[in-house]
Amino acid sequence: MNCLWKIYCGSSSDHVYDDLRPRRRISYIDRCLFLILVILSLSLLLILSFSSLSLKPCPSLPPLRNLIYTHNLTDSKPTDINPKIAICLVGGARLFELTGPSIIEKVLKVYPNADLFLNSPLDRNSFKLWLLKDAPRLAWVRIFEPKPIPETEQVVRVLTHMYSPNGIQGLLQYFNLVEGCITMIKTYQNENNFTYDWIVRTRVDGYWSNPLDPEYFIPGQYVVPSGSSYCGLNDRFGVGDLNTSTVALSRLSLIPDLDLAGLTALNSESAFKAQLSTHRVPYVTKSIPFCIVTDQTYNYPPSKYEVPVAALSSRGPLNGVKCRPCTVACSGSCLEKVMGRMSRDVGWTEWENGTMELCHGRGGLERGWEKIFDDAAGEKLAYARKQIGGLDLKTCVQEFNVMRGMTVRWEAPESEQICMLGLRHN
Looking at residue 371, its pLDDT comes to: 96
The model's pLDDT over 113-133, given as tens digits with 9 standing for 90+, comes to: 999 999 999 999 999 999 999
The torsion angles phi and psi of 281, rounded to 5 degrees, stand at -95, 115
Q: What percent of the chain has pLDDT over 70?
A: 81
Nearest to 301 by CA among 369, 364, 358, 228: 358
Q: Which of 48-57, 189-198, 276-285, 384-393 has the lowest mean pLDDT?
A: 48-57
In three-state secondary structure terms, 130 is helix
Q: Is the pLDDT of residue 261 over 50?
A: yes
Is domain 85-290+392-420 annotated with CATH 3.90.550? yes
Q: Ranked by mean pLDDT, which of 12-21, 60-69, 301-310, 345-354 comes out on top?
A: 301-310
Q: Tell me if 326 sits within 8 A of 293, measured CB to CB.
A: no
Average pLDDT over residues 331-341: 92
Looking at residue 38, its pLDDT comes to: 54
Which pTM value belongs to this model?
A: 0.83
Looking at residue 62, its pLDDT comes to: 53
Looking at residue 66, its pLDDT comes to: 40
Q: In which band, very low, low, confident or very high, does the pLDDT at 69 lie, cut at 50, 70 and 90? A: very low
Residue 88 β-bridge partners: 117, 201
Q: Is the pLDDT of residue 388 over 60?
A: yes
Average pLDDT over residues 216-221: 95
Q: Which of 77-91, 108-122, 210-224, 407-421 has the lowest mean pLDDT?
A: 77-91
Average pLDDT over residues 261-279: 96
Nearest to 212 by CA among 315, 290, 320, 284: 290
Q: Tell me if 323 sits within 8 A of 257, measured CB to CB.
A: no
Q: Is the pLDDT of residue 239 over 70?
A: yes
Strands 238-240 and 198-203, how do they pair?
A: antiparallel
> Rounded to an integer, what distance in angstroms lies between the CA atom of residue 284 and that of residue 188?
28
Q: Is the pLDDT of residue 161 over 70?
A: yes
Q: What percent of the chain has pLDDT over 90?
A: 72
Average pLDDT over residues 79-108: 92
Q: In which band, very low, low, confident or very high, does the pLDDT at 290 lie, cut at 50, 70 and 90? A: very high
Q: Which of 12-16, 53-57, 67-71, 318-322 has the lowest mean pLDDT?
A: 12-16
CB atoms within 10 A of CB 28: 14
Looking at residue 346, its pLDDT comes to: 85
Q: Is the pLDDT of residue 58 over 80?
A: no
Q: In which band, very low, low, confident or very high, does the pLDDT at 29 lie, cut at 50, 70 and 90? A: low
Q: What mean pLDDT, rounded, does the chain reach? A: 85
Looking at residue 216, its pLDDT comes to: 96
CA distances to 77, 303, 403 from 141, rounded to whole Å, are 28, 40, 9
Q: Is the pLDDT of residue 70 over 60?
A: no
Q: Which residues contact 135 (CB under 8 A, 6 or more apart)?
A: 104, 108, 116
Nearest to 123 by CA among 161, 150, 98, 91: 91
Q: In which band, very low, low, confident or very high, does the pLDDT at 28 lie, cut at 50, 70 and 90? A: low
Q: In which band, very low, low, confident or very high, does the pLDDT at 204 lie, cut at 50, 70 and 90? A: very high
Q: What size, in residues, is the chain?
A: 426
Average pLDDT over residues 97-118: 97
Q: In which band, very low, low, confident or very high, does the pLDDT at 89 lie, cut at 50, 70 and 90? A: very high
